[in-house]
Amino acid sequence: MKLGARILKTGIAIILSLFLSQVFQLPSPVFAAIAAIFAIQPTIYRSFLSIIEQVQGNAIGALTAVVFVLLFGNDMFIIGLAAIVVITINLKLKIENTIGLALVTMIVIMETPSDEFIQFSLIRFSTVMLGVFSAFIVNLVFLPPKYEKKLYYGISDITEETTKWIRLTIRHASEHKLLKNDIGKMKESVRNLDHLYIMYKEERNYFKKETIPKSRRLVIYRQMISTVKRSLDTLRKLHRFENDLQEMPLDYQNAIQQQLDCLIHHHEHIMLKFIGKVRPNVVFEEGDIFLNRKELFNLFISQKKEASLEDEDTLSHNMQIISAIIDYNEQVEHLDKLITSFQTYHKKANEMSIEK
């Protein structure tokens, strides 16, 4: 198991909240620690939004607790009714993420009323908010997330995995069950890429001059994810209709293999070109074979004309393979154009530095 940044930040936030509670001599510092656990977030931007929502949510919890104790007392049924009110208000205000901590604040205040109940409530509310602010400070200062690095290498790893399996499958060298399991894992990895993309998008820049270059990179990363999805879809079609492809003439199979070899070679080099490991003007070819969507389409049409009625299912399945390859090719070419433009114009502003 990896000891991730969020785990470390949670531990640091708990320590900081307990330390500050002792400094300010607040009673029951454990509530500050609980609040810090609830408030820790994966990005600085989300942490900023969280602190605003937590102030609102906990204020609602504290005010509801005070009103209910002053009007009805602190019977267990009254506490349950107050909890329903707090949940309803938070849902109406669309700050449902704060419900858990708001209920903790409400119960803490209602369970231990005293002669100086209002003062006690303010202290409890302050203790909880101290934990929230501790989490925000930790998010701001300690272990700032590097989602761009994670995103690029996540995309790069899945690209490497899919292109490896495409090479094996098109040569009928892949093990069917093993590939099926790996496709399921890669689907999950692609879903994680969408999550990482959102995390990176939410990261705020400290300097205004970084905003436009980041916007350009966001466009490229979105296209990278789209391209890797098409490569995975191509692999799925090759895996699903492998037997149908084997029933086609040998020259047809060889042409598909050559086109795919050139395509995945192109895709791999684009990923390296983005981080400056490949020269910008590289011709992607395998001997005399070039990427050619029209050739693929004409090849399929020629086979369709020669096919008999018994071959309709085989042809329809091969049509899906050709369609997936053409779509994949279009995405790769579009990604290449974006990266070439990115590296050609405003070169200094667009300098990349992604190291493992």
> What's the mean pLDDT when you consider all of the chain?
83
Query: Percent helix, strand and coil across the chain, each rounded to 5?
Result: 80, 0, 20
Supply the pLDDT for residue 121: 83
Supply the pLDDT for residue 216: 87
Mean pLDDT: which of 32-41, 85-94, 104-113, 337-346 is highest?
85-94
CA dist 318 → 101, 179, 260, 264 (Å): 56, 20, 14, 19
294-340: pLDDT as tens digits:
677 777 677 666 655 456 777 788 888 888 988 999 999 999 999 98
pTM score:
0.73
Supply the pLDDT for residue 204: 66
pLDDT higher than threshold 90 for residue 276: no
CA-closest candidate to residue 150, choices 183, 195, 83: 195
Supply the pLDDT for residue 31: 84
Range in 23-32, 36-45, 180-189 the model is least confident about: 36-45
Range in 86-90, 94-98, 274-278 the model is least confident about: 274-278
> What is the rounded CA–CA span in Å between residue 76 and residue 175?
62
Mean pLDDT (whole number) for 190-198: 91
50-71: pLDDT as tens digits:
888 888 998 999 999 989 988 8
> What is the rounded CA–CA span in Å between residue 242 and residue 238?
5
How is residue 315 written in tokens? 């042809």
pLDDT higher than threshold 70 for residue 258: yes
Supply the pLDDT for residue 288: 44
Supply the pLDDT for residue 163: 93
> What is the rounded CA–CA span in Å between residue 343 and residue 349?
10
Supply the pLDDT for residue 123: 85
pLDDT higher than threshold 70 for residue 239: yes
pLDDT higher than threshold 80 for residue 168: yes
Share of the chain above pLDDT 70, in %: 83
Supply the pLDDT for residue 207: 60
Mean pLDDT (whole number) for 175-196: 90
pLDDT higher than threshold 70 for residue 281: no
Query: What does the DSSP assignment read for 164-190?
Result: HHHHHHHTT-S-HHHHHHHHHHHHHHH
The radius of gyration of the chain's CA atoms, rounded to the nearest angstrom, is 29
Supply the pLDDT for residue 2: 56
CA-closest candidate to residue 33, choices 48, 47, 42, 22: 22
Supply the pLDDT for residue 221: 95
CATH number listed for the domain at residues 147-344:
1.20.58.220
Range in 175-184, 221-230, 232-241, 271-280 the model is least confident about: 271-280
How is residue 273 written in tokens? 């070109």
The answer to whether 130 and 23 have CB atoms below 8 angstroms apart is no
